[in-house]
Structure 1
């Protein structure tokens, strides 16, 4: 693919934006992701927080935990299922996870000629907090600890201002010596653009000390760490400084599931990963992830993934399933 190139050393960000319309920005992002993703799967880059994803074919639904990040598709389409809610995103829409959420992800559009290509940037809560303090009234007004929590996974319309910052970050991969100095500035700019977006308040909440979103974030961290243990709701509520009923309500608003449903999805995701990656039987795996009854494990596994463990793993291996985010 040949597109007109702009030397980022010769033009300012605003000039580059004026010279490169949105559709050409998308074309350049396709070209740059293809340059660094010769094979299907997940590609780490010289910028620690940036990961690139490629799929040459549609995939089956794969349960994974989306960590705080922004996912920007350059080509293809994907859907993320959170509880009973379906979010679809493509080059016109980006997806943001403001907290860790178990999601069933599936690439919908991809061919070897036009592969699914995605840019993923991990989001740093400390950077969000810094920008809320330094970003002026237009950013600070989006944040309030009294604001009700919102869903921790959302899709928003992409725009040329955001893609301009993403492209300038991607261009640094060709000049590695510039990455230590310039990459942090550009990642901060991308977060700033997200905070300016239509759902900036949702992202801001997770960085506010004392907000419901941050309190739920603490509970999520506990569930991730101790997913294999029998946890009591009353203990989780005390950790969040909430009543049990408030914890249930706010947790479900943010994750679209209860704390116990969240823990169950974490257990089953880890079980699926172990079965896929290691030569273990289902009974051994069920005990490792916290189930006391292998039969209960088999029932819940079948209910979530549509097949019993052995058949599901055989299907995944035959389809070269992609495990991971974005």
Structure 2
């Protein structure tokens, strides 16, 4: 099959099974995304995984890095990253369609045993856009086809997913870093996990370095190389994203939300919120509640 034929079949399956903006599927790590109009930028956290756009186009930004991807490419995130994303090409006739696959660390670690022993580079950036080659696209199609044959999912889904992850490992040194528990990428991933779980708590670089089993200077250097943010900047971004979700979803006052996510000063919370989102909390929340298309896809 040509790439175009594979994409056509993937689109047909996604249109049959993906009716909502985000559709979890019977395959545990597989999600379908759909949108019928462009969206404004939405702040969210991309978790470790693969996103393959099969129709339409999307643009994203984190820190000072901007990226765009379309059906000839895929997005790979090796650590959780706070990102601003917007769909820039979509219509009711040709909706934006994408397929998301969450990375399974246990499968990645097992597959590393079957890869050639190579010297890994230092931990690089935690998110990238790559060309979608035919072997990977065919493997993705084998997995997605199982949505039309649910009785086969229990036996074949794990095999298809394993092939996808194997091909990703072959092509992506950063992903091989993540799969090795003693690598810099794995250590940074532990630090990110700790921050996300304890985002409302103050911390010192020395304490976070101990969690990551790194020196403080090494943690700071490699964390910024992977995320383009310092650990404290990363925590601030997570706090503000969670605060925005809380404000959009419930009628809680801004000062109370700021306190819940770790801010002692309402004025500091309002100032940093406005710096990131362009408006103070009350005004931004009022806009969010009138624009349901601000949900992340």
Judge same fold: TM > 0.5, yes or no.
yes
Is 1:124 equivalent to 2:113 in the alignment? no
Match of 1:134, SS state, is coil
Which one of the candidate residues 187, 203, 212 is aligned to 1:240? Answer: 212
Is the Cα–Cα contact under 8 Å of residues 80 and 105 in structure 1 kept in the other structure? yes
For residue 72 of structure 1, the aligned residue among 38, 52, 72 is 52
Structure 2 distance, partners of 1:257, 1:30, is: 36
Show the counterpart of 1:53: 33
Write the distance in 1 (CA, Å) between the matches of 2:71 and 2:162: 22
User: CA RMSD of the aligned region, Å?
Assistant: 1.2
SS at match of 1:73: strand
How far apart in 2 are the matches of 1:317 and 1:77?
25
In 1, the alpha carbon distance for the partners of 2:165 and 2:278 equals: 37
Query: Is residue 94 of structure 2 the alignment partner of residue 114 of structure 1?
Result: yes
1:173-231 deviation digits (Å, cap 9, x = unpaired): 1111110110000000001111222xx11111011121111111111111000000011
Aligned residue pairs total 297
CA distance in structure 1 between the partners assigned to 2:207 and 2:254 by the alignment = 30
Residues 306-315 or 72-81, more deviating: 306-315
Q: Using the TM superposition, give the Cα deviation of residue 80 of structure 1 relative to its aligned residue in structure 2, in angstroms.
A: 1.7
- Residues 129 and 207 of structure 1 are in contact (CA less than 8 Å); yes or no, is this contact kept in structure 2? yes
8 Å Cα contact 1:68-1:122 kept in structure 2: yes
Match of 1:280 in 2: 252
The answer to whether the aligner puts 1:175 opposite 2:149 as a matched pair is: yes
Return the offset for 1:316.
2.3
Secondary structure of the structure 1 residue equivalent to 2:201: coil
1:149 aligns with 2:129: no
Q: Does 2:70 align with 1:90? A: yes
Shift of 1:243: 2.2
2:164 pairs with one of 190, 205, 210:
190
Q: How far did 1:318 drift? A: 2.5
Aligned to 2:3: 22
User: Aligned to 2:179, what secondary structure does the other structure show?
Assistant: coil
Q: How far did 1:323 drift?
A: 3.2
Q: Runs of 5+ in structure 2 lacking a partner?
A: none
Tell whether the 8 Å contact from 1:62 to 1:321 is kept in structure 2 after alignment.
no
**Deviations along 1:132-161, whole A, 9 cap, x unmatched?**
1024x2xx42x63xx311001011000111
Among 175, 187, 197, the residue aligned to 1:225: 197
Task: Give the structure 1 partner of residue 178 of structure 2.
Answer: 206
Structure 2 Cα separation of the partners of residues 267 and 223 of structure 1: 10
SS in 2 for 1:321: helix
Distance 1:310 1:56 in 2: 29
Looking at structure 2, the residues matched to 316 and 79 of structure 1 have their Cα atoms a distance apart, in angstroms, of 20
Q: Which residue of 1 is the match for residue 139 of structure 2? A: 165
Verify: 1:257 aligned to 2:229, yes or no.
yes
What is the TM-score of this pair, normalised by structure 1?
Answer: 0.88
Specify the SS of the correspondent of 2:293.
coil
- Unmatched segments (≥5 aa) in structure 1: 1-19
Instruction: Give the corresponding residue for 1:9.
Output: none
Moved more, 20-29 or 238-247: 238-247
Aligned CA distance change for structure 1 residues 57 and 96 (closer, same or farther; 3 Å): same
Question: What's the secondary structure of 2:27's corresponding residue?
Answer: coil
Give the CA deviation at 1:322. Answer: 4.2
Q: In structure 2, which of residues 5, 12, 17 is the aligned counterpart of residue 36 of structure 1? A: 17
Q: 2:269 aligns with which of 280, 297, 303?
A: 297
| Deviation of 1:308 (Å) | 1.4
**In structure 1, the residue corresponding to 2:82 is in which secondary structure?**
strand
